[in-house]
Chain A
Amino acid sequence: MAIFALSFENLYSPAMSQVIQNKSIRKIFRLLLAGMLLLSFSTVKANEEGGEKFDAGKMIVEHISDAHDWHLWGEHDHAVSVPLPIILKSEKGLHFFMSSAFHHDIEGKHVVENNGERFVMLHNHIYYAADSATAEGGYVTVNEKGEATNAAPLDFSITKNVFAMLVSIALLLWIFLSVAKAYRRREGMPPAGMQSLVEPLIIFVRDEIAKPSIGPKYKKYMPYLLTVFFFIWINNLLGLVPIIPGGANVTGNIAVTMTLAIITFVITTISANKNYWQHVFAMPGVPVGVLVLLTPIELLGVFLRPFVLMIRLFANITAGHIIALSFFSLIFIFGEMSTGLGLGVSVFSVAFVIFMSLLELLVAFLQAFVFTLLSAIYFGAAVEEHHHDHHDAHEGAHSH
C-alpha cells in the first residue's frame, strides 16, 4: 500500500512528496531488505532439506498466470493460500465448491466429486477426472506435447484475477461514488479531499484525451473513456502492490485486455459513420488500381488496431511483473549456490526491484493513458466528418 500511496503523493504537491518519498522509500527499502533476507534464508534451508531445484521460469509463469486460489506462501502440502470459489458448468449443470477442495493439488491427483461429476486440477486447469488413475497416480492423461487430453468443463470460477478485479471495481466504485457525492454536497465550491485528487485526472481525460481526439461529439464517449482509464490505472497500480489483494496480474492478462479491446472495437464500429467506411473501403482521391492494394490493408487495420491495443497493454504490464520477479529469482538462484551469495545478491535485487517499481508506476499511468488515448482516437476517426487534411494525422497517431 505504501507504493500505492506514494503515487498519489507524487501527483500532489511536489515539495511535500519529495520529503515523504525519501522517507518512505528508505522505509520500504529496509522492510523489503529484511523480508528478502529472511525469505532467502528459509528457502535455502528448505531447498537443502527437500533437494528440489528452484525453477525461476516456472515460478514467474505461476505468478503472472491466473490461479484458482490465492497462493500466499509455502509449497504443495505446506502451502498457505486463500481459497476462492470454483464455478463450473458441465452437462449435468453448475458446480460450486471452494478451491481448497483440491488440497493444493495441481498434478491431477486429487479428485473432487461434486453434483455427480469428478474433477481434477492440472496446472490451474480443471478437467473431468479419468475413471482410473495413470501409473503416476494422476487422473489426467497427457499427450506428447504436454497437453491434457481429458475433456474440461466450462470454467467460470472466481479466480485470482477475477477476485482482484472485483476488488479493484469495489475500490473504483467507492472512490468515484463518494467523489460524486462530494460534488453534489459541495456544489459550487472548490474541490476538497479525494475530489481534488481525481478532478485533475478527469479533466485530463476530458481535455487532453477526449476533446482533441474525438472533437465536438466527445461527450458521448466520456463515460467509457473515464471508466477504462481508471480501471486500467487502478488495476496496474494494484498489480504493483505485493500483498493481497494486490499483486495479481489483471491488466497483464490477455482475457482482460482482449475484453477491453473488443469493447473499444465494438464502440468504434457502431459509431462509425459513412465517412469512416468510405476511408476503409474506398479512400477518396485514390485511383482504383491503388485501392485494390489499399482496401485490404485498411480493412486489416480496422481489426489490427484493437488487436494491437490488446497486445500492448498485456505485454507492458506482464513485462513489468516478469522483470520484478526475475530480480527476485536471482536471489534464489544464487542462494542455491551459497547462502552468502544469495544474501549479497538480494541487496542488488531489491534495489533493482524498487527502481523497476518506480518505473512501473509511470508505466501504470502511461499504459492507462495510451489505451484511453488510442480508444479516443479510434472513436474520433469513426465519427469524424468529411475532412481530408486530418486523415494523415490519424494515421500517424496509430503507430504508437
Chain B
Amino acid sequence: MELIKPSIGLIFWMSVSFFTLLFILRKFAWKPILNMLDEREQNIAEALNTAKKAREEMASLKADNERLLNEARLERDRMLKEARDTRDAIIAESKDKAQQEANKIMAQTRETIRTEKNAAITELKNQVASMSIEIAGKILRTELGNDEKQKSLVQDMLKDIKMN
C-alpha cells in the first residue's frame, strides 16, 4: 500500500520545518502572546477588583453621608426645637415680667391714688373746716352783731338745755 508507507524525505522535511516553526513561534509568537494575555487578564482582574472596592467604598461613603445627613437633620430639628423653646420661654418670661411690672405699677398707682385721695380728702376737710369756721365766724359776726339777737340765741339755747 502506497498510502501507508511513510517516505523518508517527507519525514525529514516535516521534522526540520516543524521544529523550525515550533522554535520561531515559541520565541517570537507564543511567549509574547501568552505573556500579554496573562498580563491583560491580570490587569482586568485587578481593574475589576479595584472597581469592586471603589463600589464598596462608594456604598460606605454613601451610607456615611446618609448617616451624617440624618444626624445633621436631627441636630437641626433639635436646634430648632431648642430655639422655639427658648423663644417661648423668653416670651413667657417677658410676659410674666411685664405682668408683674404692670401689676406693680398698678399697685403703686393705686396706692398713690389712694394716698392722694386721702390727702385731698384731708385737705378738703381742712378747707371745709376752715371755711366753715370762717363762715361760722362771719355768720356769728353777722347774727350776733346786735344784742337782741344774742339774747334770743341765748334764749333758744337755754330752751334746748331745759328740754334736756
Write out, one digit per residue, whether chain B residues 1-29 have a CB within 8 A of any chain A CB (1) or not (0): 01111111111111101101110111011
Closest residue on chain A to residue B36 by CB atoms? A183
Cα A375 to Cα B76 in complex, Å, equals: 75
What are the residues of chain B within 8 A of A227 when measuring CB–CB? 18, 21-22, 25-26, 30
Q: A169-B21, A202-B37, A256-B10 are in contact. Are A180 and B5 (CB under 8 A)?
A: no
Q: Are B37 and A199 in contact (CB under 8 A)?
A: yes
Interface-located stretch among A97-105, A137-145, A151-159, A298-306 = A151-159
B137 at the interface (CB under 8 A from A): no
Cα A177 to Cα B32 in complex, Å, equals: 10
A37 at the interface (CB under 8 A from B): no
Q: Are B13 and A203 in contact (CB under 8 A)?
A: no
B43 at the interface (CB under 8 A from A): yes
Q: Are A254 and B3 in contact (CB under 8 A)?
A: yes
Partner of A231, one of B4, B18, B34: B18
Write out, one digit per residue, whether chain B residues 86-118 have a CB within 8 A of any chain A CB (1) or not (0): 000000000000000000000000000000000
Cα A183 to Cα B8 in complex, Å, equals: 39
Q: A66-B7, A156-B9, A202-B33 are in contact. Are A173 and B14 (CB under 8 A)?
A: no
Partner of A158, one of B4, B13, B30: B13
Q: Are B37 and A162 in contact (CB under 8 A)?
A: no
Partner of A226, one of B25, B32, B40: B25
Give the Cβ gap from A17 to chain B, nearest Cβ, in Å. 25
Partner of A254, one of B6, B12, B13: B6
A187 at the interface (CB under 8 A from B): yes
What are the residues of chain B within 8 A of A203 when measuring CB–CB? 37
Q: Are A159 and B9 in contact (CB under 8 A)?
A: yes
Q: Are B24 and A162 in contact (CB under 8 A)?
A: no
Q: Please classify how large the interface on chain A is, using the bins under 10, 10 to 19, 20 to 34, 35 or more.
A: 35 or more
Partner of B24, one of A165, A173, A254, A260: A173
Give the Cβ gap from B29 to chain A, nearest Cβ, in Å. 4
What are the residues of chain B within 8 A of A158 when measuring CB–CB? 13
Give the Cβ gap from A88 to chain B, nearest Cβ, in Å. 9
Task: Tell me which residues from 214 to 240 in chain A have a Cβ below 8 Å from any Cβ of chain B.
Answer: 219, 222-224, 226-227, 231
Binding site secondary structure of chain B: helix
Write out, one digit per residue, whether chain A residues 46-85 have a CB within 8 A of any chain B CB (1) or not (0): 0000000000000001001110000000000000000000
Q: Are B13 and A162 in contact (CB under 8 A)?
A: yes
Q: A155-B8, A173-B25, A255-B10 are in contact. Are A179 and B33 (CB under 8 A)?
A: yes
Closest residue on chain A to residue B20 by CB atoms? A169
Closest residue on chain A to residue B32 by CB atoms? A180
Give the Cβ gap from B102 to chain A, nearest Cβ, in Å. 87
Q: Are B2 and A255 in contact (CB under 8 A)?
A: no
A172 at the interface (CB under 8 A from B): yes
Cα A184 to Cα B37 in complex, Å, equals: 11
Q: Are B34 and A255 in contact (CB under 8 A)?
A: no
Cα A348 to Cα B14 in complex, Å, equals: 38
What are the residues of chain A within 8 A of B21 when measuring CB–CB? 169, 172-173, 227, 231
What are the residues of chain A within 8 A of B28 when measuring CB–CB? 177, 180
Q: Are A183 and B33 in contact (CB under 8 A)?
A: yes
Q: Are A166 and B6 in contact (CB under 8 A)?
A: no
A373 at the interface (CB under 8 A from B): no
Q: Are A255 and B14 in contact (CB under 8 A)?
A: yes
Q: A188-B43, A227-B25, A254-B4 are in contact. Are A222 and B30 (CB under 8 A)?
A: yes
What are the residues of chain B within 8 A of A188 when measuring CB–CB? 39-40, 43
Closest residue on chain B to residue A263 by CB atoms? B18
Cα A292 to Cα B117 in complex, Å, equals: 148
Cα A166 to Cα B37 in complex, Å, equals: 29
Partner of A223, one of B11, B17, B22: B22
A176 at the interface (CB under 8 A from B): yes
What are the residues of chain A within 8 A of B15 when measuring CB–CB? 259
A312 at the interface (CB under 8 A from B): no
Give the Cβ gap from A183 to chain B, nearest Cβ, in Å. 4
Give the Cβ gap from A172 to chain B, nearest Cβ, in Å. 6
What are the residues of chain B within 8 A of A199 when measuring CB–CB? 37
A253 at the interface (CB under 8 A from B): yes
What are the residues of chain A within 8 A of B32 when measuring CB–CB? 180, 183-184
Q: A183-B32, A254-B5 are in contact. Are A259 and B11 (CB under 8 A)?
A: yes
What are the residues of chain B within 8 A of A64 when measuring CB–CB? 3
Task: Tell me which residues from 181 to 216 in chain A have a Cβ below 8 Å from any Cβ of chain B.
Answer: 183-184, 187-188, 199, 202-203, 206
What are the residues of chain A within 8 A of B8 when measuring CB–CB? 154-156
Q: A154-B8, A188-B40 are in contact. Are A180 and B33 (CB under 8 A)?
A: yes
The 8 A-B pairs of least Cβ separation, nearest first, read A255-B6, A223-B26, A255-B10, A176-B29, A180-B29, A183-B36, A259-B14, A162-B13
Q: List 6 A-B contacts (CB under 8 A).
A: A154-B9, A155-B8, A156-B9, A173-B25, A188-B43, A259-B11
Residues of B within 8 A of A (CB): 2-15, 17-18, 20-22, 24-26, 28-34, 36-37, 39-40, 43
User: Told that A188-B43, A203-B37 touch, could you supply 11 new A-B pairs with CB distance under 8 A?
Assistant: A64-B3, A65-B2, A162-B14, A180-B29, A180-B33, A188-B39, A222-B30, A222-B34, A223-B30, A227-B21, A255-B11
